[in-house]
Structure 1
C-alpha cells in the first residue's frame, strides 16, 4: 500500500498542516504573553536545581554527621579522663583523612577545652555557649566560611562533655554558587550570608521566604533545607537572565513575518524531498535491528543471521551481566546506560585479540552474544577464560569518586555441531539458565545430557583438579605483602592454581566452585598445606594460607593441620586467613579452631573484612586471638578518592588499633593508593603495585 502513496503530495500536505499548526500555536503564545513569567518558564529547572542542591548538601554533611555519631559513642571518648592521648590520636587521624575538617574541639561539662586539634588555629571560645543547650541531638553554628557541628556526650543520662567539629565550607559554598542559570544565596535566620550583592529583597519578601517551606514569585524562588541541624536556612534562587515582555511583544510581528516567508519557502522545498520517506523507512529498519543503547545489532538481526550460511562453523557465546539489576537500582538508568555502552566497548575490543571473534550483538540490556568461529577446543577455552578473567578485573569509572566491576556468566552453544544454526541461540540460553541456577562462571552446552549436566567444560576442569591431586601437581603462587613502616616485603600469601591438559594455568574463580560441588575441595586444601609448608619450612618469611568454613568444620581437618604444622616446624611463621563473611554462622566452631591453633603459636587473620556481614561483636570477642584484619579490596580501590570508603576504613582502623590488631590493605594497585593507606596508619599493603603472585620467591 505504501508504494501507491504520492510521497511529494503527502509531504507537501504535511508541511502545510504543520506550518498552520505552528502559526496558530505561536499566535496563542504571543497573545497571552503577559501570563507567562520567568517562574513558569523555569519551574522545571528550579525543581531540578532544588533536587541537586538538596542531594549535594545531604551528601556533604552526612560524612560529618556519621563521624559525630561514631566518636560520641566511642568508649575511649566517653571515658576521656584517662584517654586524652588516645583521643588526640583519633582526632588527628580523622582530621588528616577528611580534607575539609579543619578542627576538632573537646570540652568538659563546664565548657573548658580539653583537646583541640586545629589545622589553622582559631579559637571560638566565645561561641561555646551556643552549644550549652544541646540535648542528645546535633546543633550547628554557621558563619561565612565555617560551620561548627556540636554534639553533647552523655553518660548515664548526664552530660559529661561536648564534641565540636570545625568544618571549612569554602568548597561547599563555591559549589552552591556555581550555577550558570541562577544567582544562588544562602539565607540564615533572615540574613543573607553569602553572595549578598546579588540579592535585593524587601522585608515582606524576607518574611515570605522565612515563613514558607517554598516561595515562588515572578522572578524569585526559595525553599527550605529541612532539619538542617536546627538552623532556619533557606536556599534562594534568582534568575541571572529575565525575559523582557515588551521586547517579546515587539518581536511578535517580525516572527509572524518569518513564519509566513518560511511557509512560502517550505512548499517548493518539499518537492525536493520526495526521497525522505525512503530514508525514514531505512532508518526505521535500522532501528528495528539495532539496540537502542549500545548501537549493536539486536536479537532480531541475530535471528535473521542464524538462517544464513555465513553462520556455519560459528558458535554463540552469551555474556551475561549478573549484577545488572543491582547496578540499575543503585545508579539509575542514566548511569546504567553508560555502563552498558562501556561493557559493549570492552567486549568488542577482544576482536583484536582473537581473530575468531566475528561479531557482537546486544540481545537484552544485560545480555550480549558473540559470534565466534570455532576452530578447536583449546582456542575456545583460552578465549573464554581470558575474556571472563579480564572483564571481571576491569574497573569502570562512574564518576570521579566511584567505580564498578562487572560480574559475569558465560554460556556457550554446542561446539560439536556448528552446522545446526537454528538451535545455537537456544542452546546457549539453556546453558546460561543452568549456569545461573548453579552459580557456574563458564558453561558449554552438552546435547547428550541436556539440562541435567551440560557443563562439558567443567568436566574437563574437574579432570584437571583430579590430576592435580593424584599426581601431586598443585600449582602454588605467592603474592608479597609489604610492611608500610619498614618499607620491606616481610610476608607472602599462598594462592592456589591448577593446570589443564594443555599445561595452561587455571585460576580459582574457574575451579573452586566445581571442586566444592564435587567434594574435592578439601583434598585441594590438604595438598596446598603439604606443599606450602614444605616450601616455607626453611625460609625466613612469614606466610599465609586461606581456609574456608568447609575446611575448618570437616572432621579430621584440625588434627591433620596440627600434625603438619609440627612436622614442618612452621608454627612461628604461619598465618591462617579466614574469610569474615563465612565465619559468622559457624562462630562456635570457628572459635574452637582458632583457640587450638593459637596455642601452637600460629597467627590468625580475618580475610576480606568489610565484604560481607561484618559482625563486629564476634570480632571483638575473638580479638585476643586475631593478629591481622585484611581490608576487602572493594574498600581500598580508589580510597584516595572515595570519602565514604575513607570514613569506613578509618572507623575499622580505630577499632583494630584499640584491640591491638594489625591491618593489611589488599588491592593496592597504584602509588596513590599505597601512599594514602600508609598515611592512614595501615600496617601492611598487598596488591599488584607491590607485586604480582609468583611461583618462586
Structure 2
C-alpha cells in the first residue's frame, strides 16, 4: 500500500488500526478468561480433598450426636463428647488447612464458637462471638447445602468451606474449615505480563490513531488550500494533477469553457471587475452542476474545465447540465458595480467520450479543439468534438446539425395523408429536412442517429414546431402533423411552446402530434399525464410507426390516442407476407373496437392501396398519392 494511497484514503489505515485494537481486546478478554479458568481449575484440584475430609468429619460429628436432641447443649455439658469432637477437628489441620471449628447461631442470630480445633494459643473459647464477613454464611440456613467462600489475596486464595450439620431439617451446627490455595507464581506472572503488554499495545494504537486523525485533518486542510482556487473557490490545476489518475473518464463528459472577450473586460473595467466576473461565472457553473457528481476546475485565466457525470450509453442528463450552464450564463446579468451590470457569454468545447483517450491530457486536447472551433465560429457557442464520419456512409455531425439550426438551414417538406373514402387530402405530415451548405437535402435518417439523446434533438424539435406554427398561421385551412419523440413529451420547454400555441384560436385543433411508438412512452415519468394534457388542449394524438417494435394496446386506450400509423415496413410486405397481413389486420380490428382511426404508411402501389382498403383502413400516406414537397399544393 503506497504512502500516497494511505494519505488519500486515511480511513483504510484507521480501520486497520481499529481492527488490530479489537483483535487485541479480544485477546485480552481471552487472557483474563484463561486466568479465571486456570484459577478455577486450581481451586477444583485443591478443594477436592478438603471437601472430602469435611464431609467425613461432618458425618463423624453427626454420628456422635445421633442420640442427642439438643446438639449445642449436649456438647457444652458433655466434656467427653467435646474432647472427641475437638480431637477430630484438630487432626484436620495441615499446612494448608489453618482452622477447623464448629459454630452455632444463638436465638438472636449471632454466630458463636462451640468447638475450635486450633492449637491452644490460637483457640477460641466456647460461646465466643464470631463475626461473619459475607452474606454467604446465611445461605447455608436456607439452602442447607455446603457453601464455599473465596477471598482472593495477592499470592493465594483464602477459602472457607462450610458444611451444615442438620437435625430435624434444621441447621443446628456449622462445620467451618479455613484453608488456602497457593497461586502458581510463574503462570500468574506470565498471564499478568501478557495482560499488561496487550493493554499497553492497545493504548499505543489508540494514541497513534488519535495522532493520525489529527495529522490527516491537518493534511486535508493543507491540501484543500492547495487544491482550491482562492479567487473562485473551485478546484485548481493542482487538483487535476493530483487526482487525474483516480478519475474514471468513462463516467464523465469533458467540458472546456472559456469566457468570451475577457481581455476586453479587463481592459475596459479593470482587473478587479475581471475578478468579480470570474467569481460570478464560477458561482453560476457551481449552481448549475450537480453536487457530489460533477467536478469544476479553474484551468487557468478565464478558462474552466468541467467533468460532468454521465451514463455511458446516454449523455442526455449530462448535456442537460451543460445546456443549463450555457443558457444561465447567457441570460444572467453580471454585476460590475453597485449599479452596473453587463452581459457575458462563453464558448464551450465538449469531448463526449474522454474515456476513449489514453490519458487525461489527450482527452482534454479534444475538448480544447472543440473549444477552439467554437471561438472560430464567432464565440457564444457549444461545439462537440467528433471524428470524421465514414465517407461511404455519410451522417451529419452534432456540430453540423447545430450549425444548420443557427444558420436557418432547417426546413420541412410536406406529404399528404389521403382519406381512403374519397382519395382527397385530409392533412399533411411535416417531414424534417436540412439544407446542406452545398444545397443538398439531408433526410432524418442521416440526422437523428447522431443527435439522439442530446439537447440538439430538443432544439431541432423546437425549430420544426416554429416552422409548422408559421405554416398554420399562413394557411388557416390546412391540417398538419409534426413528429415528437418520447423525450419531447416530458420536456418543459417544448410543453410550454405547445401550451402557448393552444392559447391561440384554430392552432391546436389543426396540429397533430405524432409520437414514435416505443417502450419509452410508458417508462418516462409523466408522459401519460402530459399526453392527456395535450389532448385536452385540443391536439390530436398519433402513434407513429406502430407495430414495428414495442406495442402496448392498453396504453393506447389510456392516453386516448386518436390515430395509429401502421409502420411502413409492415405495409410494404402486406401483399406477399401472410404474417404482415395478419399483424395489420389485428391492429385494424383492435383500432375499430377502441374507436381509433388508422393510417397506413408507405402506400406505394395500387395493389397495396386495394389491400388496405379491403381491411377498411381509413387513411393512406405514400408515394402512390404524393411525394414530399417544399410547400402545400
Bucket of the pairwise TM-score, normalised by the shorter protein = 0.3 to 0.5
Higher RCO by CA contacts (8 Å cutoff, separation 6 or greater) = 1
Computing the radius of gyration over CA atoms, which structure comes out larger, 1 or 2?
2
Relative to the length of structure 2, the TM-score reads: 0.37
